[in-house]
Amino acid sequence: MPSAALDPAGFLQLMWLASPALPIGGFSYSEGLEAAIHAAQVTDEHDAGDWLLAQLHLTQSRGDMAAIAQALPAWQGGDTARVQQLNDWVLATRETSELRLQAEQMGKSMTDWLRNQHRDDAARGAQVEQLAALSERRPSYPLAFALAAAFTQAPAREALLAYAFGWAENMVQAAIKAVPLGQSAGQRILARLAHDIPAAVAHAQGLSDAQRQAFSPMLAILSAQHEHQYSRLFRS
């Protein structure tokens, strides 16, 4: 059910942002999962579920989701210096070229989508152009998502729930294709992730700048190995 503070139009916009059908390219990345499968660290449904739960809590909740939680009020308050600071942090924490590519490509695609969606709204269009100018290269996806979520006027908790569930759906689809797994196994993994997402969101919301972190060395190693993997389905 939608939050009492969110009108139906805003709720539907939030669902739209969480949809894997959003044309930002999330389906083309496995975020190191394909490399873990290639290294036989993930071989079945149980392994895939454990891997993604660890990724949810150790990388998403402590890193990108925490950045989104802090970027939402910055966008809403017009604090461009804070937005720039958070964007710089996200880009600086990408430990491999593939992870950097994902953050930048999805950020640019989300910016282009927002530009098209709000082309007749001068105020929102101006914020989209601020997003586009965040980096000398490209805005990162977490900061682009935060602006899109801010436009829905959703409370931060609901915005983060939508972000996390969209991430989970993309990652489960990657597991289904690469392990490979059946659709029923994928749904069981998604149920495990959905059970843990509220706690991951609460943790992300409680982190300060000093507590926000991106430290997952095994993921970084696997991501670097994936860059030279002979055969692969995904871009990361």
User: For residue 119, how many other CB atoms are within 10 A of its CB?
Assistant: 11
Would you call the peptide bond into 2 cis, given omega within 30 degrees of 0 as the criterion?
Answer: no
Q: Which of 92, 60, 52, 56 is nearest to 178 (CA)?
A: 52
Chain position carrying tokens 């969101």: 201
Q: Which of 231, 103, 116, 111 is nearest to 167 (CA)?
A: 103
DSSP string, 159-197: HHHHHHHHHHHHHHHHHHHHTT--HHHHHHHHHHHHHHH
d(CA 31, CA 99): 7
Domains of the chain: 28-226 (1.10.4190.10)
- Angle CA 131–132–138, to nearest 5: 110
Query: What pLDDT sits at residue 3?
Result: 47
Query: What pLDDT sits at residue 21?
Result: 87
| 199 neighbors 192 (Cβ within 8 angstroms) | no
Walk along the chain (236 residues) and give the pLDDT tens digit of each residue. 444 567 888 899 999 999 988 999 999 999 999 999 999 999 999 999 999 999 999 999 999 999 999 999 999 999 999 999 999 999 999 999 999 999 999 999 999 999 888 888 788 888 888 887 775 558 999 999 999 999 999 999 999 999 999 999 999 999 999 999 999 999 999 999 999 999 999 999 999 999 999 889 999 999 999 988 877 889 88
Query: What pLDDT sits at residue 1?
Result: 41
Tell me how far apart the 2 most distant CA atoms of the chain are, in Å: 51
